[in-house]
């Protein structure tokens, strides 16, 4: 007897999911110093969550300064070509820090300016709560190790107990990957899989959608 046509169909994706990525947490936890800067995050999460119906991928970051600015600008252009990805930009604010090196012999004021990322954690938390209230997804896929997301996670678990929160902590070391409080607040937690990253790069040259091309930055 011939097989039913239904057996030839791909498995139905049943869980509506939204991915929330803390871009700097991802970069410093799993990307920096390695060969995976040219990461196609849409391809990566489609492979990682192959049974999910991914509705949207939010990538939260801020514009950097200095030598990394040009590479970041090119990467953000590459992300803009992905239909499911939406980039949300925060900002940096200069913060006064005091030198703590005891052996320092500088006689002047030991204060220096360091950039501090602002708004990212709040922006992620607000978007998650809005998506919960509007019933935009069944699963929240959170990519961070930052405990500042705890209030949003706990609020969603309290008010929407049927929705699932799944955490991926970007980390290559046990210390950075601890995220004990955040791991304890979600339904499932894992360290972000490193081996999959190298299989999910953009092509070295990709169409920009306007007749031109975006090229992978030198050294990436």
Structure tokens belonging to residue 76: 């953000």
> What would the pLDDT profile of 44-93 be if each residue is shown by its tens digit?
999 999 999 999 999 999 988 777 789 999 999 999 999 999 999 986 54
Look up the pTM and report it: 0.83
- Give the rounded distance of the alpha carbon of 96 from its chain centre: 28
- The CATH architecture one would assign to domain 12-215 is 3-Layer(aba) Sandwich (3.40)
CA dist 93 to 34, 63, 90, 121, 200, Å? Answer: 27, 11, 10, 15, 33
CB 194 within 8 A of CB 39: no
Domain boundaries, the chain: 12-215
> What would the pLDDT profile of 93-114 be if each residue is shown by its tens digit?
444 556 556 666 655 565 554 4
Question: pLDDT value at position 177?
Answer: 76
What residues have CB less than 8 Å from 183, skipping those under 6 apart? Answer: 167, 169, 189
């Amino acid at each position: 007897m011939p097989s039913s046509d239904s057996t030839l169909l791909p498995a139905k994706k049943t869980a509506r999911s939204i991915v929330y990525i803390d871009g700097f947490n991802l970069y410093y936890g799993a990307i920096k110093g390695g060969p995976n800067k040219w990461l196609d995050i849409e391809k990566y999460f489609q492979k990682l969550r192959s049974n999910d119906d991914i509705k949207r991928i939010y990538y939260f970051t801020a514009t950097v300064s200095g030598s990394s600015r040009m590479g970041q600008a090119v990467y953000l252009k590459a992300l803009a070509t992905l239909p499911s990805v939406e980039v949300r930009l925060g900002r940096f604010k200069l913060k006064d820090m005091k030198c703590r090196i005891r052996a320092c012999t500088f006689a002047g004021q030991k204060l220096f300016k360091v950039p501090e990322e602002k708004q990212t954690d709040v922006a992620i938390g607000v978007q998650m709560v809005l998506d919960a209230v509007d019933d935009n997804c069944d699963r929240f896929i959170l990519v961070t190790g930052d405990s500042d997301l705890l209030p949003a996670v706990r609020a969603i678990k309290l008010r929407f107990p049927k929705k699932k929160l799944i955490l991926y902590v970007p980390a290559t070391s046990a210390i950075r990957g601890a995220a004990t409080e955040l791991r304890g607040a979600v339904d499932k937690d894992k360290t972000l899989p490193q081996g999959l990253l190298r299989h999910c790069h953009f092509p070295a040259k990709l169409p920009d959608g306007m007749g031109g091309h975006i090229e992978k930055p030198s050294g990436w």
